[in-house]
Amino acid sequence: MKIAPLIYASMLFLLIRLVNDVPMGHNYFTHSTEFIAIELMGLIGGCYLYFFAANRWIRICADRHILIALEYLVVVIFAVTLPVMIMIVSHETPFYDYLPEFVIPVTITLLMSLLLYTILKYAYQKLREKEAQNENVKTELRLLRSLYHPHFLFNMLNTIYFSIDENNTKARNTIEQMADFMRMQLYEDDEPIPIERESLALKSYIELCRTRYGDSVEVSASIDARYPQDRIHPYLLLPIVENAFKHSGGNPKRIHISLMRSPGIVDFKVENTLPEMKHDKIMHDASGIGLKAIRRRLVLLYPGRYDFEESSDSGLYSTHLLIRL
């Protein structure tokens, strides 16, 4: 990468000379040594600066969801300013005397800069996707280790199921839900899946929590079943619900879960009551490792295509995730 700006500067210089000088019969090297040195050093230095600024700008735009029109407007301004500044410094005559000479170099520099920026942006997105895949592999391995021997656990659950009295349907249903939920979590890879399957995982988890907490937590859920074949990466919604059950408080404890759908849009919101004391500490704990991991995955999987907000007001903690698929 260190030599890439130098190669780019060489290509840009040769292209400008080829398009600007050859058709007009100009010999660039008839200029003074000082003139040539200023332009070449300015071009090389400018290209190194452009690579540095472009890579930083790509990251900023991806993290802060900058509008693509504004993103490329900044690139255009930078790409036009660079050759203009070099030519102003290298020429001794007033700016307006050689204004026509600006047209071709500036145009070529602008087009090449836009092309290079688009290539760098594409490469950065592919890198983030690769990082996301690597991170998901590590997460899956940690999950496998934490589950000890999954088949052994499934066999044990099956044994427990058949050891429960047939009349105890509630206990049997809970075992079935637990086994189904574990199976979905364990054997699902990180490729996008139909939103319908993620919704089923949500419903299974909610029912398990209802069984676990009983009447101590009031849970309401609205799961929109429309557009079931839209695809989403798994494990993005479930940790938010898990976080709500973990940090809910108050008397009574309340949790509301809402999944709204429109074409190409996932709008997910979870609200839970907080304990009456130490709201600030609870707010800090509630946005801990789990939600930070979600933010990291969102940045990698849906750069510039999501909004993720957390808020706390009057004892109510709210998490809102909107993904543009």
Tens-digit pLDDT string for the chain (325 aa): 578 888 888 888 888 878 877 766 666 677 777 777 877 888 888 888 889 999 899 988 888 878 888 989 998 988 888 777 877 776 655 555 555 667 788 888 889 889 999 999 988 888 888 877 777 766 665 655 554 455 556 666 667 766 677 777 777 777 777 777 766 666 556 678 888 888 888 888 888 888 878 888 899 999 988 888 889 988 888 889 888 888 888 788 899 999 999 989 999 999 999 887 655 555 545 455 567 788 888 888 888 899 999 888 878 889 999 999 8
Residue from 59, 109, 103 nearest 83 by CA = 109
DSSP 245-280: HHH--SSSEEEEEEEEEETTEEEEEEEEE--SS-HH
Q: Which residues contact 217 (CB under 8 A, 6 or more apart)?
A: 209, 210, 245, 248, 252, 253, 254, 255
Class of residue 300 by CB neighbours under 10 A (exposed 0-12, middle 13-18, buried 19+) = buried
Contact 79, 127 (CB under 8 A): no
Contact 249, 285 (CB under 8 A): no
Please give the span between the terminal C-alpha atoms of the chain, in angstroms, as a whole number: 32
- Give CA–CA dist 294/261, Å, rounded: 20
Overall CATH class of domain 192-324: alpha beta
Q: Phi and psi at residue 193, in whole multiples of 5°?
A: -120, 160
Check residue 25 and give left, alpha or beta (phi > 0: left; psi -120 to 50: alpha).
left
Q: What is the pLDDT of residue 148?
A: 46
- Give CA–CA dist 48/83, Å, rounded: 14
Helix residue ranges per DSSP H, 147-237 = 150-163, 169-187, 195-213
Q: What is the pLDDT of residue 270?
A: 94
81 sits in which H/E element:
helix 68-90
Contact 318, 270 (CB under 8 A): yes
Q: What is the dihedral of CA 51, 52, 54, 60, to 10 degrees?
A: 160
For the whole model, what pTM was predicted?
Answer: 0.51
What residues does 6 pair with on adjacent strands? none
Buried b (16+ CB within 10 A) or exposed e, 130-154: eebeebbeeebeeeeeeeeeeeeee
Q: What is the pLDDT of residue 322?
A: 95
Tell me how far apart the 2 most distant CA atoms of the chain are, in Å: 100
Q: What is the pLDDT of residue 47?
A: 87
